[in-house]
A and B are shown apart, each in its own frame.
Chain A
Amino acid sequence: MPRSHPLTRRALLASSAAMSAAALLPPAMAAAEEPSPLAKPIPATGERLPAIGLGTWITFNVGDDALARDACAEVMRAFFDGGGRLIDSSPMYGSSEAVIGHGIGKLGRPPGLFSATKVWTWSGAAGPGQIEDSRRLWGLERFDLVQVHNLLSWEAHLETLLAMKAEGRVRHVGITTSHGRRHEALEAIMRTRPIDFVQVTYNALDREVERRILPLAAERGIAVIANRPFRGGSLIRSVEDRPLPPWAAEIDAASWAQILLKLAVSHPAVTCAIPATTRVDHVRQNVGAAYGRMPDERMRARMLDEIEAL
């Protein structure tokens, strides 16, 4: 994947680690004193979340491999240094939650961490135990967000989660799907249940959610997490050998990854996107997409036309 050239700019942050993240930030921000990433409000609470999060599907499932666990911790360090907050995982992702817990233990609990996991079991009765297992693996007092994974046994789990939220044991409640599946059921839940977040697949080619889910989320005040922003990496691979289009500079994008991420998070209804990676240079580039100018409606249309034509 073509990666951005380091861009000259004045000190972005005081720490050296933050400096490395700053190297990937767009030139238009060079004169800014205190640049900060694009942060969008969670409609339910008004709390602002940086528009780029960190997914952990496959990438953090490294088992007991000490070297790979430490490498994941470094990805987390670069993510937080770049201003990221939301890390998303699931008990379905093998050892990913334990690896996140290892990272949190190694880094010390980052003050900005917005912890998001899921409940994923057929049994409604097993939901509370699974959420407690996840909490112990992460090493947290409580989660900022727990989502029902892929609508699995969603009625029972949603009841559990809403009760936990009422007791202050989880801050936000959500529901997820991916690959464009079960949107009708998702829409019905969004219309009838008091959820704070919905997580769906959204990228330059998977845009079905633009028709009904995203407008409904905006109407109902539900935050949206966009998963698979690179379509599992295939979007990046399909464009990585091509030069950046001339308009990339107009949105302060230094790479195809940043173009694709800016496209996803610039939709007014999308709160944040959660690209996953095993590499520090890639996570720096990903969080860098939250900085600088974002495409407006006209530019989004142009970007989509050109990306679809590739």
Chain B
Amino acid sequence: MPVWSSYSLSDLLLFSPQTYYRLIELYNRAVWPGQVLALGFGVAILALLGRPGSRPGRAVSALLAACWLWVAWAFHLDRYATINWAAVYFAAGFAIQALLLAWSGVVRGRLAFRPGRDPVGRAGFGLLVFALAVQPLVGLIGARSWSGVEIFGLMPDPTVVATLGLLLTTTGRVPWELLVVPILWCALGGATLWAMGAPEAPIMPFAAALCLLLAIWGTSAGRRRSSPA
């Protein structure tokens, strides 16, 4: 039997839930009033969805890429890495995702977001709204306090779920290359929360599974338009 198969998820957890939640509280305190700006980013993205032309798509992509880059640097590298040596690699993954979003959506203008286009797009929009408005509150069910809520644009989990939702609203082919890092994070982040016994642990794997199913269904049913509007 391989040695690694004898480890349980909790064996791989380097820190206590109390330490993790406290880290988020201290991070939220340090970046205040960044939460207001991050929520403003979220509202701006909602406002730009469905607008005609290529500029809104570029703007949404730029905002999203900025959020991924911020999380890579300010959370993973500057904070999370103090209790988890693997966070350096997470930061690299998030930075790569930011570059991919910037390249695909801003430089090449390949991302157009049309949430009302079909059921997949509407479901993606629902996932986006969930990440912006509901997901931060779910942690309050468990051991979190208001000072420890996770907000889109500042923390990985809601940023990832919002991204999955947004990518489901895109026209044309499914941007699979942009789904890799978010799906991987859903597995990692979900496993971490699961090991900590957090009540919100199912959210990330559920969001990943839902996104994959919708993307595959949308592709196979030929319901997606072949080119950006």
Residues of A within 8 A of B (CB): 58-59, 61-65, 68, 92-95, 179, 181-182, 232, 278
Contacts and interface: CB of A to CB of B under 8 A. Distances in A.
Contact of A93 (B14, B22, B79): B14
Interface string B5-39: 01100110111100100110010000000000000
B3 A63 contact: no
B147 interface: no
Contact of B14 (A61, A64, A65, A68): A61
A94 B3 contact: no
Q: How large is the interface on B (under 10, 10 to 19, 20 to 34, 35 or more residues)?
A: 10 to 19
16 contacts: A58-B13, A58-B15, A58-B16, A61-B16, A63-B15, A63-B82, A64-B26, A64-B82, A65-B19, A68-B19, A93-B14, A94-B14, A94-B82, A179-B11, A181-B3, A182-B3
B19 A61 contact: yes
Nearest to B79: A63
Contacts of B11: 179
Interface string B68-82: 000000000001001
A63 B16 contact: no
Nearest to B10: A232
B83 to A, nearest CB: 4
B85 interface: yes
Nearest to A181: B3
Contacts of B23: 63, 65
A180 to B, nearest CB: 8
B10 A94 contact: no
A59 B17 CA distance: 11
A94 B22 contact: no
Given A58-B15, A68-B22, A94-B15, A63 B83 contact: yes
Contacts of A65: 19, 22-23, 26
